Amino acid sequence: GLPQDLAGRHVVVSAGGTREPLDPVRYLGNRSSGKQGYALARTAAARGARVTLVAGNTELPDPAGVDVIHIGTAGQLRESVLKAAADADAVVMAAAVADFRPAVYAPGKIKKQEGQEPEPVTLVRNPDILAELSADRARPGRLVVGFAAETDDVLANGRAKLARKGCDLLVVNEVGEHKAFGSAENEAVILATDGTETPVPYGPKEALADTLWDLVAPRLAGPGR
Ligand code: C5P
């Protein structure tokens, strides 16, 4: 049978992409399918965890036996993750959170004006939820895991990001036209603050999820409740 090494644990997983509205009918979005985060939620539940899945845009059905909270924007994702994280043993940020949002939300649909160029869209930064969770060590023993999708210098950028974000583990993968986003397969290296680097060969997103929980479980503080 499956190891029940997450029994008595509460884990929070974010998944999918956020959408930042420009007006009532338009948004800035990204290509995240949510598949990796959903695989993490399913595998954690199978290993005995109580799972809260905070889901951005995705076409996937809610996994059985998991508490699913559907959100739209990065701001909503932040609110739901921070609330669920209050009593969590681990938080895994697999969501593709928009780094920027339109500075202004137009309450009415933006219209094209005859003979006029469109107005430029000004963007502002969204809060970095992963960095915020990592900086908040008020609740000792809560493990924080991030994801990094890189197109070049994958390992070097990953190592720098692990240090910059301050999380405990970072799953680094290379993204490209046929890699990671939307696909059912993934290939990655999982970096830990203790210097260990665990390569995960190309394979189903479930396999990567199980390898991540293999690394998370022994790092959790105290016994499960
Ligand atoms: O900095 P970058 O966007 O590459 O970092 C990716 C990691 O940070 C992912 O784990 C993602 O969920 C998280 N993130 C976040 N808040 C943001 C942007 C990214 O938590 N505003």
35-46 helix and 205-216 helix, angle to the nearest 10 degrees: 50
> Encoding tokens for residue 75?
């701001």
225 is a domain residue: no
For ligand 1, atom 5, name the residue with the nearest CA: 148
Element (H, E) at 12: strand 10-15
For residue 69, what are the domain limits?
Answer: 10-102+122-219
pLDDT, one tens digit per residue, over 110-146 is 999 999 999 999 999 999 999 999 998 756 779 999 9
Q: Is 129 in the pocket of ligand 1 (CB under 6 A)?
A: yes
> Which residue, chain included where needed, has tokens 């469109």?
118
pLDDT at 178 exceeding the cut of 70 = no
pLDDT, one tens digit per residue, over 46-64 is 999 999 999 999 999 999 9
d(CA 63, CA 177): 27
30 is a domain residue: yes
Q: Is 74 in the pocket of ligand 1 (CB under 6 A)?
A: yes
56 is a domain residue: yes
Query: From the CA of 15, how far away is ligand 1's center (Å)?
Result: 11
pLDDT at 180 exceeding the cut of 70 = no
Query: From the CA of 85, how far away is ligand 1's center (Å)?
Result: 16
- Whether this model's ipTM surpasses 0.95 comes out as yes
22 is a domain residue: yes
Domain count, the chain: 1
pLDDT, one tens digit per residue, over 181-212 is 778 888 999 999 999 999 999 999 999 999 99
Burial letters 123-150, b for 16+ CB under 10 A, else e: eeebebbbbbbbeeeeeeebbbbbbbbb
Q: How many CB atoms lie under 10 A from the CB of residue 103? A: 9
**What average pLDDT does range 13-23 have in this prediction?**
98
Q: Is 144 in the pocket of ligand 1 (CB under 6 A)?
A: no
Query: From the CA of 21, how far away is ligand 1's center (Å)?
Result: 19
108 is a domain residue: no
Q: Is 179 annotated as a binding residue?
A: no
> Encoding tokens for residue 70?
């559907």
> Domain of 130: which CATH number?
3.40.50.10300
Q: Using CB atoms within 10 Å of the CB of residue 64, give its burial: 0 to 12 exposed, 13 to 18 middle, 19+ buried.
A: exposed
Residue 127, amino acid = P
Q: Is 85 in the pocket of ligand 1 (CB under 6 A)?
A: no
Structure-derived torsion over alpha carbons of residues 71, 77, 82, 83, reported in degrees to the nearest 10: -10
Q: Is 93 in the pocket of ligand 1 (CB under 6 A)?
A: yes
From the CA of 131, give the closest atom in ligand 1. 20
Tell me, what's the pLDDT at 191?
97
111 is a domain residue: no
Provide the mean pLDDT of the chain. Answer: 94
Element (H, E) at 212: helix 205-216
Tell me, what's the pLDDT at 197?
96
Q: Is 127 annotated as a binding residue?
A: yes
Q: Distances in Å between the alpha carbon of 131 and those of 4, 26, 27, 82, 159?
A: 30, 28, 25, 12, 15
Helix, strand, or coil (residue 214): helix
26 is a domain residue: yes
114 is a domain residue: no
